Amino acid sequence: PAIHRADYQAPAWWIDTVDLTFDLDPAKTRVLNKMRLRRNPDVAAQPLRLDGEALNLARVMVNGGGTSFKMDGNQLVLENLPEGAEPFDLEIFTTCAPAKNTQLMGLYVSQGTFFTQCEAEGFRRITYFLDRPDVMASYAVTLRADKAQYPVLLSNGNLVDSGALEDGRHFAKWVDPHKKPCYLFALVAGKLVAREQKIKSRSGNDHLLQVYVRPGDLGKTEHAMNALMHSVTWDEARFGLPLDLERFMIVATSDFNMGAMENKGLNIFNTKYVLASEATATDTDFANIESVVGHEYFHNWTGNRVTCRDWFQLSLKEGLTVFRDQEFSQDLAGSPSARAVKRIEDVRVLRTAQFPEDAGPMAHPVRPDSYIEINNFYTVTIYEKGAEVVRMQHNLVSREGFAKGMKLYFERHDGQAVTCDDFVQAIADANPLSPLAQHLPQFKRWYSQAGTPRVRATGHYDAATRSYALTLSQSCAPTPGQSEKQPFVIPVELGLIDASTGAALPLQLANEAGAVTTSRVVVLTEASQTLTFTNLDAEPVPSVLRGFSAPVVLDIEYTDAQLLTLLAHDADAFNRWEAGQRLALRTAIHAIADSEQQTGAHGRFDRNILSPEFVEAMRSVLRNPALDAAFKELVLTLPSETYIAEQLDVVDPQRIHAVREAMREQLALSLQPDWAWAWEQHQDTGGYRPDPVSSGRRALSGLALHMLCIAAQRAGDGVWPGKAYQRFKVAANMTDRFNALTALVASGSELAAPALARFHTLFKDEPLVIDKWFALQAGAPDRAGNVLPTVRQLLQHPDFSLKNPNRARSVIFSYCSANPGAFHRADAAGYVFWSDRVIELDALNPQVAARLARALDRWKKLAEPWRSGAREAIARVAARPDLSNDVREVVTRALAD
Ligand code: ARG
Ligand code: ZN
């Protein structure tokens, strides 16, 4: 039963106030829901249909008396409600069973503590309600529970009353001063402790910030609290958006389907995005915590103060909030180089996860037209591509223009539930002369058309006129349900480089007077446009799509020499990195297609794959004193197997894996002295700090150690593995320790097994570290098919639990989604394993199962025998009669033609 955006209708009823009383009990929680409702005068009179799921209904009363009602599927239908515009009281009493809630949607219990997750449609698992984001109400919430077991009772807003009850129970009453849609409701009850911080905002208001965790975890909350304080300051400074609450709470739980949730004033987080200490968390964990804390905090305005009219508009809040958290991290990173590193990391996610989604069976526009299960649409398209669409608007109207647009957006829509159109309209209206305003209807195609556009750039130099003509043409392949695409508005930032000196050239357009710059944005609106640059003494090297100015694939035929020039000299750090990736990618693609490249007796390629020029270029980057370590690490990391696979029409995952491994081995061997130098030169000095500079140093020395272990393994030399083991033992922080462990495991050293055993012993009481321990083994390189048996054993490990999403992800997703060389077995055993786990998980937690189901999205690209094996495995899942809507939607789309 698909839901269509075009069918949207305003609600026939409004709910003005909600008064909820919970008697919390894991086996049977009682929920008394007293609402004040009225008819929406703008909509034709009709029965009230309330959503409910997995509830036991005990009583329904209208204005204090009995009423007739009926059930229609999951909906509670009331037909005989008071006529007229007057508000009336509706009281509904239900019970639910939080301890049995393995879906982790609605009210559930995690390690003896109650939590809720209501977005998107979890509130209906708590009480009967109009569970849609455009119904906004004022909430008062009374929580009652056993005081010894649940000393802390939290909900949205302000604590207005609390006290003791009979039989060792107690209560707390919370009132939220802001109206909100029910997906932002939250409650928490359990044994928790909080780190607290009082702050004064710019406007002079006092606020209390709290981070709640289980008692042993208080020491790991400092970084999250700092990130929260930075978030408050940043949103006020950059966008003039203050904290609108006296109290802002974050609570961590180890059982959570996603990363975190922005419930008004009471954010609930996966522990993975809260808890950090230098001993247990890596630099990546620290960075992720900062960005997720920022993300949820920024939702307070973009999402909560202005929310979505319906779930098709999800990117209104998610794309915008991802853009804001990316900007936050960049602004905190500080230096231009650290900003570029963050940009490259974000683009890498987009290209390795979103581009495949946009080219696969689940492709959908940033604003989808239909869905079966909304939980399946919390995707990289809605989030990351949505953020790119906001970023293009930002760039088309300038940073100041965007701030003006945001101001207008809040002036117009504060307190409302609105659409993506409303957002773009506000940004354009605040900047009437901008290219965004000039091309607004066409720009909006980014919201309606799925698929990744391709831009082809071709240059022609004319010596007679000393001019260079650059032609940009765009196209976009069909996606499910959209066979024809109209041209997009594509901002292309570009520059020209002197091929002999590498210097930036002035961009002088023919027929254009005015200031001449070395970088500019060209707005491509036609299917094809040509720009003619003049005053050029020789053919320049074009640097196109600088900073990844639009989420497109750029097709451009560079010579190797041109790419080497860009890698060495481009003023744009993103395109410098990109030039290195293009060189590596084309080498990989040639080797994959080259039948002369065959593995010899040792299972290795007989001939070198990388050219001496490429190796030399990598050496210069590694040794370049002007470049930051973090940037070097990105340049020296080859494109991922997933990214390489996306460039090919027919995918042999084993061949891709073998070629990439051979390239890595060659880099490891030919740069040995340079890697050793990089390792020595980037050791930590002083205490641990997760800032961009020192984490960049750790990233580069970690890569160097990894490469040295690969080279040593090849040469049968034990020195570097010995050093890695020593580093693993004495490392003062998790980043260095885990990098050393990874180097041992990934290079196949015999020291890997004792190191893994020691690691488990050291961290057996740290669940987030044990997740890493599982993930590393499930993600290890395959040696003679050993990973699948290891993964099966890990499922039997006493620490494994399928019910805990983090743990399930650490083993199953690390194998099925992040280890292509081990997963894509010619005997299809990986796929059979996948189908068993999807089915098993679906009975517990459909949301997590549906994510796993997407691991085979791109099966149609696979060569035989993988293709048939994958199809059979998907068909095996699809044949189950009892699948959730979540998994059903994914496998049905995967099998459709
Ligand atoms: N709004 C949350 C965030 O982006 C994600 C919640 C997703 N929940 C879900 N059940 N799909 O921060
Ligand atoms: Zn979000």
What Å distances lie between residue 890 and 353, 361, 466, 565, 738, CA to CA? 16, 8, 55, 44, 35
Q: List the one residue out of 189, 214, 187, 37 whose CA is nearest residue 122.
A: 187
CB 544 within 8 A of CB 562: no
Which tokens go with 820?
């292509």
* β-strand partners of 72: 75
Task: Measure 480 CA to ligand 1 centroid, in angstroms.
Answer: 25
Ligand 1 pocket test target in 105, 123, 250, 261 with most atoms within 8 Å of CB: 261
Q: Is 139 helix (H, G, I), strand (E, B) or coil?
A: strand
Decide: 121 in ligand 1 pocket, CB within 6 A.
Answer: no
CB 577 within 8 A of CB 337: no
Determine contact, residues 391/350, Cβ cutoff 8 Å: no
Q: Of ligand 1's atoms, which has the minimum distance to the CA of residue 374?
A: 11
Q: Determine whether the shortest distance from the Cβ of 302 to ligand 1 is under 6 A.
A: no
509 DSSP 8-state letter: B
User: 378 in ligand 1 pocket by Cβ < 6 Å?
Assistant: yes
β pairing state of 113-117 and 169-175: unpaired
Question: Whose C-alpha lies nearest to ligand 1, atom 8?
Answer: 119
Rounded to the nearest angstrom, the distance between the alpha carbon of 260 and the centre of ligand 1 is 7
Structure tokens at 23: 């008697």
Q: Which parts of the chain have pLDDT scores under 50?
A: none
What number does the ligand 1 atom closest to the CA of 105 have? 10
In angstroms, what is the span from residue 117 Cα to ligand 1's centroid? 9
Does residue 820 contact residue 642 with C-beta atoms inside 8 Å? yes
278 lines ligand 1 (CB under 6 A): no
Q: Is 296 in the pocket of ligand 1 (CB under 6 A)?
A: yes
CA-based nearest residue to 446, from 375, 521, 396, 503: 396
Give the Å distance between the CA of 159 and the centre of ligand 2: 26
Predicted TM-score (pTM) of this structure:
0.98
Closest ligand to Cα 378 = 1
pLDDT at 350: 98
**CA torsion angle for 513, 514, 520, 524 (degrees, to 10)?**
-40
For residues 494 and 542, give the distance between their C-alpha atoms in angstroms, rounded to a whole number: 7
Q: Tell me the CA end-to-end span of the chain in Å, nearest whole number.
A: 19
Give the strand pairing for 247-253 and 206-213: parallel
Ligand 1 in contact with 261 (CB < 6 A)?
Answer: yes
CA separation for the pair 41, 316 (Å, rounded):
27
CA-to-CA distance for 634 and 349, rounded, in angstroms?
13
pLDDT at 601: 65
What is the Å distance from ligand 2's center to 296 Cα?
6
Q: What are phi and psi of 783, to 5 degrees?
A: -125, 110
Q: Is the CB of 257 under 6 A from ligand 1?
A: yes
Could you identify the atom of ligand 1 that is nearest to the CA of residue 318? 4
- Which ligand approaches the C-alpha of residue 373 most closely? 1
- DSSP for residue 845: -
Centroid of ligand 2 to alpha carbon of 603 (angstroms): 46
Q: Whose CA is nearest to atom 12 of ligand 1?
A: 261
Query: Which ligand neighbours the alpha carbon of 273 most closely?
Result: 1
Contacts of 473 (CB under 8 A, 6+ apart): 455, 456, 527, 528, 529
Q: Does residue 260 line the site of ligand 1, with CB under 6 A?
A: yes
Comparing CA positions, the residue from 110, 465, 382, 390 lying closest to residue 252 is 110
Q: How far apart are CA 597 and CA 609, in angstroms?
A: 8
Q: Report H helices in 118-259.
A: 222-239
Contact 853, 890 (CB under 8 A): yes
* Helix and strand totals (H; E) in the chain: 31, 33
State the Cα torsion 125-128-131-136 to the nearest 10°.
Answer: -120
Q: Which listed ligand is nearest to 183 at the C-alpha?
A: 1
Distances (CA, A) of 146 to 167, 222, 835: 8, 30, 42
Residue nearest to atom 11 of ligand 1 (CA): 375
Give the residue whose CA is nearest to atom 1 of ligand 1: 261
Cα dihedral 790, 792, 796, 801 in deg (nearest 10): 110
Q: Which atom of ligand 1 is nearest to the CA of 375?
A: 11
Length of the chain measured in residues: 897
- 3-state SS of 83-102 is CCCCCEEEEEEEEECHHHCC
CA of 154 to the centre of ligand 2 (A): 22
Who's near 528: CB < 8 A, 6+ residues apart? 471, 472, 473, 474
Give the distance (Å) from ligand 1 centre to CA of residue 850. Answer: 15
Nearest atom in ligand 1 to the alpha carbon of residue 122 is 10
Ligand 2 centroid, distance to 558 Cα (angstroms): 39
Alpha-carbon separation of residue 636 from 114, 178, 438, 671, 692 (angstroms): 46, 50, 42, 11, 18
Instruction: Please say whether the beta carbons of 568 and 502 come within 8 A.
Output: yes
Report d(CA 115, CA 268) in Å as an integer. 8
SS in 3 state form for 61-79? EECCEECCCEEECCEEEEC
- Which residues have a Cβ under 8 Å from the Cβ of 819 and sit 6 or more positions away? 778, 779, 780, 782, 787
- In angstroms, how far apart are the furthest CA atoms of the chain? 96
Q: Which two tokens stand for residue 550?
A: 């639009």
Tokens at 397, concatenated: 């109207």
Enumerate the active-site residues.
296
* Residue 375 Cβ < 6 Å to ligand 1: yes
Q: Which atom of ligand 1 is nearest to the CA of 378?
A: 11
Q: Say yes or no: CB of residue 736 within 6 Å of ligand 1.
A: no
Is the C-beta atom of 768 inside 6 A of ligand 1? no
Which one, of 642, 639, 737, 646, lies nearest residue 684 by Cα? 737
